[in-house]
Chain A
Amino acid sequence: MEKREKNSIIRTEVLCKSFLVDGEVNNIIKNVDLDIYEGDFTVIMGSSGSGKSTLLYSLSGMDQVTTGKVILDGADITRMSERKMAGFRKEKIGFVFQGINLIPNLNVYENILSPTYKTGRNKKEIEKEIEDMLARFDMLNQKKKFPTQLSGGQRQRVAICRALINHPKILFADEPTGALNSSQGQHVLDVFSEIHKDGQSVVMVTHDLKAACRGTRILFLRDGRIDGELQLGEYHKEEEKEREERLYHFLQERGW
């Protein structure tokens, strides 16, 4: 794997994740050594069952690994207590789900506000930031609405705002456009590109070619192992077709 000079924000060492299925051990992630770099928009791709979501959840500390280490921003998250991990998630990690997962009894504003509890930040500063975010994502007039009163794309944008409110070191996204129609998906991907431009490190799992094109670095996963990497460079809308072709070839070479 190509060594880079960028700072590594996540490093895995011999990462393994197994599940017991009907009494048999099923190895999903097999001895993965990987670096995720600061400022990158890393996209993990792979066929169904290749272990992409499992890898994402292992990298983000959302799931326990079986063996190996995950060092995130210098801390080994595989050894953390629940309490410490909770604090770590709040401060350093943002997560966006395919299923969106907003808290149904909180309105838009409260959903975004929810991760700021006990972060020691100034109330006015947070309020202003939420207002700015909502304005930026064209959601300001939806502030008081509850999740069930929003469209899928709007909900996902709220989820992204919530994931970003504590300025995480890294933003994880698991198929963020998977449950959206194409125009809503496009909107959400624009948001991802925008925040990446602002310097946000992003790791996204997807099997959508258009979504993957937004990334700067593509990792291809096959049977729980990294089976290739493609550097796409910074995203520019006008280069979208060319990026898609490069990615298509890359994937074709790997039997996609």
Chain B
Amino acid sequence: MWLKNFRNKKLQTLLIGLIMLLCALLLSTSLNILVSLNEPLEQLAEECESAFAVVYPYAEENEGEVTAIAERLAALEEVERAVCVRMHYISEKLTSGDKEIETFTNLTEYDADVFAHIRCVEGNRKNFENLKEGECIVPACISVENDLKVGDDFTVHMPDGNVTYTIKGIYADIYSTSNAFTNYVLVKQLPEQMLPEMEIRLYTKEEVTEEQILDSYEAAYDRELEGQMNTKSNALESSLLAVQILGGILLAVGAIMLLTCCLIVNFVLRSIMTSDAKTIAVYKTIGYDNHTIRSLYTKFYFVVTTVGVWSGIAFSKPLSNQILDDLFANIGEQANVHVVKVGLGIYGMILFLVLGTVYLVTSRMKKMKPVYALGNMSPTDTAKRQNYKGDYKGAFSPFGIALRMIMRDKKGTFGILVVAIVSVIGINFGLVSLDVALNMKDNNDYWLGVDKSDIMITVSAGATAEDIEKKLEEDSNVLKTAACCMSGNLIVEREKNGKDAVVYPFVYEDYSKVDMTIVKGRNPKNGEEIALAGKIAETLHKEVGDYIQLNFGQSSKSFLITGLYQTYYNIGESCRLTKEAYEDVPFAYDTVSVYLKDNQDISGEVERIEEIVGGSGKVIPRTEQFASIMEMISEPQESAIPAVILMVVLIGSVNIFCIIMLKNQKEVKVNSIYKCIGYTSAHLMAANVCFVSILAAVSIAVAVPVLLSLYPNIMKLTLGAMFGLLEYRVEYNMVHILLGNIAIFGLFIISTFLSSGGIRKINVRDLVIE
């Protein structure tokens, strides 16, 4: 019975269902992205029997010292065992066939005590345990990113000759899930020419925390742990960073669109109630009470919401799988998100909002008097109306009619305007996010905190930065060079109740000679000054003007904080020092920044400089420096945001379609009258177009400046906790924004045209009272 009341509302129902579907699709996809990886990562850690933590000793090259730390750790009550692992951090060029591999990786000696249970993704597990000389096992993250297979070669370009391995297997482990963080390529033994470093894998007896281990160590040996600890849960969090950023953006857009959906449901319901006034009046005259009539609407929208939302949730599965595919592949699994749990929450929330709206709108039924509705009458209207002050010629032009619609129905117009503004904000949010993601590599000087040179040369082992600078000194295309060090780490000395922290410094001789963005304060000028990354400053509760004590291994020194800057490098645990700070400590530059004279072809110059420096360094454009970090953040966004924009555009267009269609249905009589007194369908459609154009223009005029001013703050709020963002710097591409908004405007107009087609079918006979 209740369903029969809605059989003449197929299109409205379809549109409402479609809006629900898209909204649920967005929300479900974003939540799937945020939650789906946790469990598989935890399972991976369990399956691999991964160490509780990896300890990176400060004296990583001193085998005796590292072994002693491991023994001390092993003797702690909470610790089951501590295993030393020998490895070499590859700063040299890496290739497989013709492909250059960009990653942070350690060539690591296979130790069954540590790696016996790693997940075998490809290859034979027996080969893992019986690795031979010239064979290696690579983590899935490197294999996925570079399309490496078992049997491919893997070459490290050492200054004194290449070292080539054959890939015998692909594996996954919780400490090797991303190219943006250090991962491990396993070999039988390190080549002699590689300087070995060591780290310690720490296995605990039971559930303990990082603080407990550190406190126990300090209590047992009356000293702090001589190294930095990276726990399994930290590694897990780092693996989730990229999806958290993406999920956060999608969730923000999803929430905006949910608001739109509520507004549109409200609008549709109100229109339906108006057009159903007679039906409701008839029901009332034959004895139905408000509660019974309301239940007709509630049941109907319950069904529409259920079908729409669950369809959206079902469609979110393949979309989420597509987005998460690479990330799952990094842990050797196929993406297969489970949408039901997340879906139930979304369904509950949308159902609550929709039925709440139904309740509120249908509450107005109480005021409906059957006598008016059935007699085509309305109670005497004493409301004051805005006098339309348009001139005679314009008053009945399409624009004049549109303007009058707006001025004389401000409440209705305001509702439509809010829907349009929210849609425009959603679309622009996506557009700006995509622009930021696409330009992240170009702007890596800001996002990574490196200097804005044109080319960077990573110094190979055995070579020196000074040699490279000398080779480029006289080059006619080179404006200047600057040596720096990016590979060390320092410990921040713990203050009372303070948290242990490690910082990864960028060290330059003179910051005034390089182009390095600083968000607050200034870069250090001498050996007593330091600039801190936002994240570490936030962790340590430090500000410009405060002091910080750094441990250099053999010595400790206090620094005045002169500035704060932004970086994703090492998740924001970074600082800037001058070379002077290292005066009593062994120090070597490992990178050379090259500034070219104007208008140079960067890729051509990279090839030319490669020839000049030979095997002394790996030459890359600055925009490719730490590419794996930028790609980890930007690539999922680049792949997912266009789909999101499409969805938001679709929702916005459907909203406008729906609004105009309902408006036309509501005004079918008025349009008949206009036609009867000599107005054409085209004229009335043009009035609708003008109406939407005015609203679209106002929406864009309001939404774009609001979004542009709020976007950096929204992103800072969303991502600030992860990276300690001081400022989310966005260089808006006004051309893209302009084109995007012209497209939005166009889509709104197209939607209006499509939904106004019914005006042509209006027959003036409808005005006859039979």
Mark contacts of A151-194 with chain B using CB atoms, 8 A cut-off: 1 yes-contact digit, 0 otherwise. 00000000000110010000000110011000000000000000
Please state if A110 and B388 are interface contacts (CB–CB under 8 Å).
yes
The docked-state distance in angstroms from the alpha carbon of A193 to that of B648 is: 61
Q: In the complex, what residue of chain A is closest to B670 when comparing beta carbons?
A: A103
What is the interface size of chain B, counting residues whose CB is below 8 A from a CB of the partner?
39
* B393 contact set on A, CB distance < 8 A: 123
Assess whether B673 is in contact with A101, with CB atoms less than 8 Å apart. yes
Q: What are the residues of chain B within 8 A of A63 when measuring CB–CB?
A: 763-765
Interface: B381 (CB within 8 A):
yes
A89 touches B678 (CB 8 A): yes
Q: Is A253 an interface residue (CB 8 A)?
A: no
Least distance between A148 CB and chain B CB atoms (Å): 4
Q: Is the CB of B397 within 8 A of A62?
A: no
B376 touching A99 by the CB < 8 A rule? yes
Q: How far is the CB of B670 from chain A (nearest CB, A)?
A: 5
Within 366-396 of B, Cβ neighbours of A (below 8 Å) are at 376, 378, 380-382, 385, 387-388, 392-393, 395-396
- List 5 additional A-B contacts (Cβ < 8 Å) besides A114-B677, A149-B382: A83-B680, A95-B676, A97-B767, A103-B670, A162-B677
Interchain CB contact under 8 A, B676 and A89: yes
Q: How far does the Cβ of B751 sit from chain A's closest Cβ, in whole Å?
A: 23
Chain B residues numbered 669-687 whose CB sits less than 8 Å from any CB in chain A? 669-670, 672-683
A142 in the interface, Cβ–Cβ < 8 Å?
Answer: no
Q: Which among B319-327, B329-337, B404-412, B501-509 touches the partner chain?
A: B404-412
Q: How many Å from the CB of B275 to the closest CB on chain A?
A: 15
A105 near B768: Cβ-Cβ < 8 Å: no
Q: B769 contacts which chain A residues (CB < 8 A)? A: 97-99, 175, 178-179
Contacts of A144 in B (CB 8 A): 387
CB distance from B498 to the nearest CB of A (A): 69
Asked whether, in the complex, the Cβ of B381 is within 8 Å of the Cβ of A117, the reply is: no
Whether B678 pairs with A86 at a CB distance below 8 angstroms is yes
B378 and A148 form a contact (CB under 8 A): yes
B492 to chain A, nearest CB (A): 70
Can you name 28 A-B pairs with beta carbons within 8 Å?
A: A62-B765, A63-B763, A82-B681, A83-B680, A86-B678, A87-B678, A88-B678, A89-B676, A90-B678, A95-B677, A97-B768, A97-B769, A98-B768, A98-B769, A99-B768, A101-B672, A104-B670, A105-B409, A106-B404, A110-B388, A115-B677, A116-B396, A117-B396, A117-B397, A118-B396, A123-B393, A148-B381, A178-B769
Q: Is A206 an interface residue when CB atoms closer than 8 A count as contact?
A: no
B404 nearest in chain A by CB position: A105
Name the CB-closest residue of A to B379.
A148
Q: What is the interface of chain B, defined by CB distance below 8 A to chain A?
A: 376, 378, 380-382, 385, 387-388, 392-393, 395-397, 404-405, 408-409, 669-670, 672-683, 760, 763-765, 767-770
Q: Answer yes or no: A202 CB below 8 A from chain B CBs.
A: no
B768 x A174 contact (CB < 8 A): yes
CB distance from A197 to the nearest CB of B (A): 24
Candidate in B388, B409, B673, B679 with the most chain A CB atoms within 10 angstroms = B673
The residues of A that contact B682 with a CB separation of less than 8 Å are: 83
Please give me the residue from chain A that is nearest to B677 by CB atom: A115
Q: How near does chain A come to B107, taking the closest CB pair, in angstroms?
A: 78
Whether B408 contacts A105 by the Cβ 8 Å rule is yes
Known contacts A87-B678, A89-B678; A62/B764 CB under 8 A:
yes
Considering the chains assembled together, what is the distance between the CA atoms of A86 and B674 in angstroms? 10
Give the residue name and chain of the A residue nearest to B396 (CB).
A117
Kindly list chain A residues whose C-beta atoms are within 8 Å of the C-beta of B396: 113-114, 116-118
Q: Which residues of B contact A116 (CB under 8 A)?
A: 396
Query: Cβ of B670 and Cβ of A57 under 8 Å apart?
Result: no
Tell me the A69-107 residues at the B interface (CB within 8 Å).
Answer: 82-83, 86-91, 95, 97-99, 101-107
Question: Separation in Å of the B405 CB from the closest CB of chain A?
Answer: 7
